[in-house]
Amino acid sequence: MGEIVRVFLRLGLTAFGGPAAHIAMLHEEVVVRRKWVSEQHFLDMLGATNLIPGPNSTEMMLHLGYVRAGLRGLVVAGLCFITPAMLSVLGLAWLYVEYGSTPAADWLLFGVKPVVIVIILGALWGLGRKALRSGWMLALGAAVMALYFLGGNEIALMLGAGLLVVLVRRGVGVLKGLALPGLAGWMGWAGASAPFGLGALFLVFLKVGAVLYGSGYVLIAFLQADLVERLGWLTQQQLIDAVAAGQLTPGPVFTTATFVGYLLGGLPGALVATVGIFLPSFFLVLASNPIIPRLRESKFAGAFLDGVNAGALGLMAAVTWQLGGAAVVDLPSAGLLLAAGLLLFRFRVNSAWLVLGGAAAGYVLSAFA
């Protein structure tokens, strides 16, 4: 257990750069250096995380903790990886609540928002190149995006896309032309606001953690739909700022939930949101670890995952468009967007440095206001 604490706490404190970077660091620690598992076993676990909802890099930590020390190892590995990020985001949320309404803070956030849009676009581009490798899958993602703008329920759209690909690959070719419009019948949860409560907050994040496939950035689509549009608890500006906080800290992107929870309900809200969004992953990893070999060979699971990923990317694209309208409001913000895009796509600058650079640029621009 001491070994698990040292490995996963260090990763929780130093794993910047998003899920791909987290998994690369984990591979170095447990396959190359410590030889806890073989290369093939590591790849099988990585494939299994793609077949269940939740944050992939966090679920890899849980799988390795379970392999090394059973149920206790799973719990300890998860807590050691998640807690440093949660505490870091909690500190940023406190600073945001205390000082976020000052003129200086407004300018810092002005510089950060376009950078966050670029970071999301970078994730969308990288994931899209892998997930949308045919015209049919690209059309599916575009259809999900369009249906989302028409008011479609994001869970129904994403899972419906997964089922559609399963049916098409099983030879039900006529569905390729008929089922996408039929997904409109899955729309739900008309958007009236509702009073805030810790129980309702927990259920919102528990639902997200239980159904969210794809990149952690798909989280933004769910928070936009639930907390901004349906419930009216959060503004678009607060959502962008929460995503920015997640970029400045190590560990999983899902700790954006900690920031949002603190904004809505203080420390109890932060804890409730964090537990809600990560809890499903602990149970899903515990259930899926023993059946990884069978999951790896399942054609049904692979087809479903392909469709869900296409749907998730469509949701990401739709919400990025919405958030971009709130972040890019004039020529200076457009310039920051282009500069951040050049640094990310051409020079591969780490996202944390981009966010810090955006904040610095906003501070500089405040002198000319």
The pLDDT score that the predictor gives to residue 177 is 43
Is residue 339 in some structural domain? yes
pLDDT at 293 over 80: no
Specify if 17 maps to a domain: no
Give residue 292's pLDDT band: very low, low, confident or very high (50, 70, 90). confident
pLDDT at 277 over 90: yes
Distance separating alpha carbons of residues 137 and 212, to the nearest angstrom: 19
Percentage above 90 pLDDT, the chain? 38
Q: What are the pLDDT digits (tens) for 9-64?
A: 988 888 766 676 688 778 988 988 899 998 878 878 887 787 788 888 899 999 99
Please compute the mean of the pLDDT values over residues 301-316 and round it to a whole number. Answer: 82
Predicted TM-score (pTM) of the model is 0.80
DSSP assignment of 277-324: HHHHHHHHHHHHGGGHHHHHT-HHHHHHHHHHHHHHHHHHHHHHHHHH
pLDDT above 60 for 187: no
In a domain? residue 44: no
pLDDT tens-digit readout, 148-185: 899 888 888 888 898 998 888 876 544 444 344 444 34
Token digits of residue 31: 């396959």
Distance in Å from the first CA to the final CA of the chain: 55
Q: Which of 255, 325, 289, 307 is nearest to 85 (CA)?
A: 255
In a domain, 304, yes or no: yes
- Between helix 236-247 and helix 351-366 the angle, nearest 10°, is 120
Q: Assess if residue 74 is contained within a domain.
A: no
- H or E stretch covering 351: helix 351-366
Q: Which domain holds residue 221?
A: 102-366
Return all residues near 228 (Cβ < 8 A) that are at least 6 apart.
234, 235, 236, 239
Residue-wise pLDDT for 211-244, tens only, equals 887 666 788 888 998 999 889 999 988 998 888 8
DSSP per-residue letters across 92-154: HHHHHHHHTTSHHHHHHHHHHHHHHHHHHHHHHHHHHHHH--SHHHHHHHHHHHHHHHTT--H
The mean of the pLDDT values for the chain is 84
Q: What's the gap between Cα 271 and its chain centre?
A: 18
Residues in Cβ contact with 224 at an 8 Å cutoff, skipping those fewer than 6 apart = 236, 239, 319, 322, 323
- Judge whether 65 lies within some domain: no
Asked whether residue 49 is domain-assigned, the answer is no
Looking at the structure of the chain, the number of domains it has is 1
Nearest-angstrom CA–CA distance, 79 and 59: 12
33/22 Cα distance (integer angstroms)? 16
User: Does residue 361 form part of some domain?
Assistant: yes
